[in-house]
Amino acid sequence: MKGNMTLGFIGNPNCGKTTLFNAFTGANLKVANWPGVTVEKVEGAMRYHDQTINLVDLPGTYSLTSYTMEEQVSRQYILSDDVDVIVDVVDASALERNLYLTLQLLELGKPVVMALNMMDIVEKRGMEIDTHRLPEMLGIPVIAVSARKRRGLDILIHAAAHHKGVEEPDKLLHNHPETTGHRHNHHEEYAMVYSDLIEDKIDSIIDVLKREYPEIKNYRWHAIKLLEQDKEITERYPVNLPEVIDRSYEMDIINEKYDFIEEIIEEVLVNKEKREAFTDGIDQVLTNRFLGLPCFLAIMALVFLLTFTVGDALGGYVERGVEAVSGILAGGLSVMGAGDMLTSLIIDGIVAGVGGILTFLPNIFVLFLALAFLEDSGYMSRVAYVMDGIMSHIGVSGRAFIPMLLGFGCTVPAIMASRALEERRDRMRIMLVTPFMSCSARLPIYVLFSQLFFGERAMLAAYSMYVIGLFVAIAVAFIVHKLDKKEGGYQRMLLIELPEYKFPSARTVLIYVWEKVKDFLTKAGTTIFVASIILWLLLNFGTEGYTGDMANSFGASLSRWLVPVFVPIGLGYWQIVVALIAGLSAKEVVVSSSAILFGIANINSAAGMEQMGAVLGDMGFGALNAFCMMLFCLLYTPCAATIMTIRRESGSWKWTGVCAVFQLGVAWVAAFLAYQIGGLFL
């Protein structure tokens, strides 16, 4: 028991595997992709006594066949020598289904330890699981854990550490009749014993395998896979036994596994009738034929209401902080005798740009908190069901709505979430329209311009952006769907598990939110920091060197050249054009650059806004222009990070280019219509 050890965490989707994993590793995760495929690989490490334990979180999967990329990756990794012990995370509240994967893992012949998770939910429902009988029937250690309440964690690691290298099952106690017609009695050796017909075939195949492929470690598993006519194994270890493998026995094997599972459930699960009343009750309303959609819209409206009200209330504190820092810095710089230029760079460039963005941190924090809550409570997958009808009109399943919904948070993870869609065609479509879902980076733009020009109706104006974005996304997908002639024979299949509702784990939610807040702060410290400096340079230097008047700067001259294009959409001001171009680095930069452009230290404060409103008012920039500004920012080409994500996920520069240009075009047309039609009435 010396040195390092690697534990592979595997389990069904929604079994609480990630929560358990986080309970061990905290937020110290290394997230990467498995080599060659776009399946996420999450690694962490922890200390246990004198050894380092590496933990690898495998993709959630229901089985170990080789039909999907996730299953292939998990299977290959588990079979490799890298994994010392498999930790099978099982949702105790859905034991029946989770045991199917367990039975497959047992057949791999590697050390397996079961982490029986969500026992608290089982108890709450008045059910009980016989945790003594379960290991007797399976032949592996079973440890009850609660990932949310952090119970049983040490025992699990202890059991795993002691189970390293144990390949024989623990003592199996079963109720099967001792005498079978089969020439071997496997009940002492394996938990999962098939019917005599299958066992005979397995034995015959093993005999051939032993002769032809002596290097194979686990003959039984390979024999079973050959009997299932598994593509990968059949190609790698072909055997010539046409009379034994006369057809695929996969269906028989699945059925016999489930028969055994029923036997286990019969013996270990007590009081199973009381289960699921709670979730059924909530689903009566939330997935009701008529109420489902209104409920979803109400929940989203609440999320945004909280984002604006609570976020703004907290934003005041950050504002005061930024003001204080700005004051101290200005004082310090003048004491140190810093020149005008350096003072201007720090105060007007960096503090105005980066500080201006930081005041929106509370809004973003609240938005991500709400999204994490929806995801961890189990509601997110219901949205796929509720939206399936609408999504079917645009040729994709309701499942495709989940990435779009995540787009309200940040477009980058939303586009990565489109991986879950099976058809490449669906993924490409979702990548095209997800940037129209208004991400949190665009929120500062709405907050600023709506409060400047819409007074009491500010929240309505900001909220309308979310609705318009959603509408444009669906409309574009609909048109693409109608134009695509190659649809014949294609079926969109909705198939998604609806987990039990649960109260979200504070730890999971906080880790999720912290990751997002960290991203935001990193962005403020890097992209926005650099963009602010570059912008300051462009705006303070002209053909005659350092200039006090921005109107004579390089930035101004460059932008003036583009202004004619922006006049028909109500944005024909060189300052606005500079802000929009700068916004391609990150959407928040539109606001931070406005702060620099209009020379306002604290753009989200009442005084700062009044100042900017006055400047804009003098320029003839009114409410309609502000609306067009918001609309254009909502729809135009997304930030550089999103563009790079589309490139990576689609694998095509061409498609990435099409997306970027198309979004720019849509934004221009939408703002043009709004400005021209709006102009007739105002």
Partner 1 sequence: MTLNCAEIGAVYKIEQMELPQKTERRLEALGMTHGTRIQVINTKDRGTMIIKVRGTRFAIGRDISENIQVSEVNA
- Please state whether beta strands 5-11 and 85-91 pair in parallel, antiparallel, or not at all (unpaired): parallel
DSSP annotation of 59: P
In angstroms, what is the minimal distance from the CB of 537 to partner 1?
Answer: 54
Cβ-Cβ contacts under 8 Å for 589 (sequence gap 6 or more):
353, 527, 528, 531, 532, 535, 579, 582, 583
Min CB(37)–partner 1 separation in Å: 18
Amino acid at 567: V
CB nearer partner 1, residue 4 or residue 284? 284
Residue with the two structure tokens 């008045």: 126
> In this chain, which stretch among 2-10, 282-290, 406-414, 655-663 interacts with partner 1, using CB under 8 A?
282-290
- In the complex, what is the shortest distance from the CB of residue 70 to partner 1, in angstroms, rounded to a whole number? 12
**Phi-psi sector, 575: left (phi>0), alpha (psi -120 to 50), beta:** alpha
Binding-site member from 382, 427, 516, 587 for partner 1 (CB under 8 A): 382
Of the two residues 257 and 516, which places its CB atom closer to partner 1 in the complex?
A: 257
Q: Following CA atoms 95, 96, 101, 105 in sequence, which dihedral angle do they give, to the nearest 10 degrees? A: 80
| Strand, coil or helix: 270 | strand
- With CA atoms as reference, report the closest residue to 72 among 32, 105, 39: 39
Residue 326 lies near partner 1 (rule: CB under 8 A): no
By the rule CB under 8 A, 134 interacts with partner 1? no
CB of 268 to partner 1, least distance (A): 13
Q: How far is the CB of 633 from partner 1 (least distance, A)?
A: 35
130 binds partner 1 (CB under 8 A): no
Q: Token pair for residue 190?
A: 């394996």
Tell me how far, at minimum, the Cβ of 283 lies from partner 1, in Å: 6
Number of residues that bind partner 1 (CB under 8 A): 42
| Tokens coding 604 | 């989200």
Q: Which is nearer to partner 1, 247 or 289 (CB)?
A: 289
What dihedral do alpha carbons 88, 91, 96, 102 form, nearest 10°? 0
Using an 8 Å Cβ cutoff, are 390 and 474 in contact? yes
Neighbouring-strand partners of residue 31: 42
Of 185 and 288, CB closest to partner 1: 288
Minimum distance from residue 113 beta carbon to partner 1 (Å): 23
Question: Does the footprint of partner 1 cover residue 170 (CB under 8 A)?
Answer: no
- Of the pair 232, 280, the CB lying nearest partner 1 is at 280
Q: Per-residue x/- marks for partner 1, 49-88, CB under 8 A? A: -------------xx-x-x---------------------
* Tokens coding 265: 């459930």
* In contact, 100 and 90? CB cutoff 8 Å: no
Nearer to partner 1 by Cβ, of 123 and 250: the residue is 250
- Tokens found for residue 563: 């202004």
Q: Pick out residues in 628-657 that bind partner 1 (CB under 8 A).
A: none
**CA 555 and chain centroid, separation:** 38
Q: Which residues pair with 436 in a beta bridge?
A: none
Q: With respect to partner 1, which residue has the nearer C-beta, 416 or 498?
A: 498
Considering all CA atoms of the chain, what is the largest pairwise distance in Å, rounded to the nearest integer?
A: 100
The reply to whether 279 sits near partner 1 by the rule CB under 8 A is: yes
> Nearer Cβ to partner 1, position 63 or 557?
63
Angle at 57 between CA 494 and CA 161, to 5 degrees: 140
- Stretch 229-268: interaction string toward partner 1, x if CB under 8 A: ---------------------xx--xx--x----------
Asked if residue 94 binds partner 1 (CB under 8 A), the reply is yes
Q: Is 491 in the site for partner 1 (CB under 8 A)?
A: yes
Q: What distance in Å separates the CA atoms of residue 271 and residue 269, rounded to the nearest whole number? A: 7
Q: Does the protein bind partner 1 through residue 100 (CB under 8 A)?
A: yes
Q: CB of 40: closest distance to partner 1 in angstroms?
A: 20
Note whether 344 binds partner 1 by CB under 8 A: no
Q: Which of 493/680 has CB closer to partner 1?
A: 493
Plot region of 14 (φ>0 → left; ψ -120 to 50 → alpha; else → beta) = left
The C-alpha atoms of residue 236 and residue 127 are separated, in whole angstroms, by 45
Q: Which is nearer to partner 1, 194 or 627 (CB)?
A: 194
Do 601 and 347 form a contact (C-beta atoms < 8 A)? Answer: yes
What residues between 384 and 443 interact with partner 1 by CB under 8 A?
Answer: 384-385, 388-389, 392, 397-398
Residue selected from 497, 546, 640, 661 as contacting partner 1 according to rule CB under 8 A: 497
Number of Cβ within a 10 Å radius of residue 60: 19
381 binds partner 1 (CB under 8 A): yes
Residue whose tokens read 């046409």:
242
Nearer to partner 1, 207 or 267 (CB): 267
Provide the b/e sequence for 465-491 (b: ≥16 CB within 10 Å). Answer: bbebbbebbbebbeebeeeeeeeeeee
Q: Which is nearer to partner 1, 62 or 672 (CB)?
A: 62
Geometric angle at alpha carbon 492, from 376 and 487, rounded to 5°: 145
Identified binder of partner 1 from the candidate list 335, 336, 483, 493, rule CB under 8 A = 493
Using CB under 8 A as the binding rule, whether residue 481 contacts partner 1 is answered as no
Q: Which C-beta is closer to partner 1: that of 258 or that of 463?
A: 258
Length of the chain, in residues: 682
The DSSP-derived string for 385-412 is HHTHHHHHTTTS-GGGHHHHHHTTT-HH
Identify which of residues 269 and 366 has a Cβ nearer to partner 1 in the complex: 269
To partner 1, the closest distance from the beta carbon of 388 in angstroms equals 5
Binding site for partner 1 (CB under 8 A): 62-63, 65, 67, 94-97, 100, 250-251, 254-255, 258, 275-276, 279-280, 283-284, 287-289, 292, 381-382, 384-385, 388-389, 392, 397-398, 491-499
